[in-house]
Chains A and B, each alone.
Chain A
Amino acid sequence: MTDLLFWVLAASLTCCALGVVLSRSLFRAAYWLAGALVTTALLYLALTAPLLAAVQLLLYTGGVLTLVVFALVMTAQGDDPTRWRRPIPAMVLALLVFAVLASYLPGLEPGPALGQAQGGLDDGMAAGVELFTRYLVPFELLSVLLLGAIFGALVIARKDEEAP
């Protein structure tokens, strides 16, 4: 893993994130978010987790972006004319949170050799076995959660024809 690749991906991710937050048009913000998510998928690939990179691209980028663009088209609210609400305190708070988080970095324990401890993170078979043995209950609960989310979204967004 070369340093150059990391710096390119980091710069791209930061630019995309700033684009999401700063752009006036919400469509552009959505496309910047897609850029950020794809860059993160590339980072996952660099971190020897190709399974996650695929899931990130398919589910996260594809699914979330489609939903957001669809909602924007449904409501024809492309632009955001009054976009800021107290940006200076928000910026101060965000910088403060960043400083507090970054101050924990030096206390990080040095781990075993990078990505080598159990043969890396790209062991799809081991991940599958873990998923269906140790994490079977959370996995099933997740399916219930997704079902609930689908029904909840349907019920909330439905048009009530005979509502009083």
Chain B
Amino acid sequence: MTVERLLLLSFLIFSIGLFGVLARRHVIAILLSLELMFNSVNLAILAVAWHQGWLTGVLIVLFGIAITVAEVAVGLSLFLLAERIRRTTCADDLSALKG
């Protein structure tokens, strides 16, 4: 296990998540892919921290996880609101802000 392999793994997961965000239509599917991307970034930070013996990396990942959970809570409540008002779960139909 080397830091290069770990970073490569995290880049791979990031790209898979990016594909999901770009290619899926359902809002929750996009949110799940987004979680995957967050997770890969945390993994990359921790890999570098492990490589450098850098204790602050642990705290940064800790903060990152807490912020992600807050983001999921707000995102899901937005999803529930969109489902109730617009009767849609497809991201393509939520285009009211489009110029």
Taking a contact as CB atoms under 8 Å apart, the answer to whether B1 and A26 are in contact is no
CB-defined contacts of B5 to chain A, threshold 8 Å: 6, 10
Q: A84, A111, A149, A153: which contacts B53 (Cβ < 8 A)?
A: A111
Interface residue count on the A side (C-beta < 8 Å): 90
CA distance A17 to B66 in the complex (A): 21
Q: What is the bound-complex CA distance between A139 and B35, given in angstroms? A: 22
Contact of B67 among A36, A111, A123, A145 (CB under 8 A): A145
Contact A77 B55 (CB under 8 A): no
- Please give the number of chain B residues whose Cβ is less than 8 angstroms from any Cβ of chain A in the complex: 70
Check if A63 sits within 8 Å of B15, measured CB to CB: no
Specify which chain B residues have a CB less than 8 angstroms from the CB of A93 in the assembled complex.
18-19, 22
Instruction: For the A-B complex with A13-B13, A90-B22, A91-B19 known, give 19 more contacts whose Cβ atoms are closer than 8 Å.
Output: A20-B17, A26-B26, A26-B28, A29-B32, A33-B32, A59-B69, A60-B68, A71-B79, A72-B28, A97-B18, A101-B14, A114-B50, A117-B54, A118-B54, A120-B53, A127-B59, A138-B63, A146-B69, A156-B77
A residues touching B (Cβ–Cβ < 8 Å)? Answer: 1-3, 5-6, 10, 13-14, 17-18, 20-21, 26, 29-30, 33, 36-37, 40, 43-44, 46-49, 51-52, 55-56, 59-60, 63-64, 67-68, 70-72, 74-75, 77, 80, 82-87, 89-91, 93-95, 97-98, 101-102, 105, 108, 111-121, 123, 126-127, 130-131, 135, 138, 142, 145-146, 148-150, 152-154, 156-157, 159
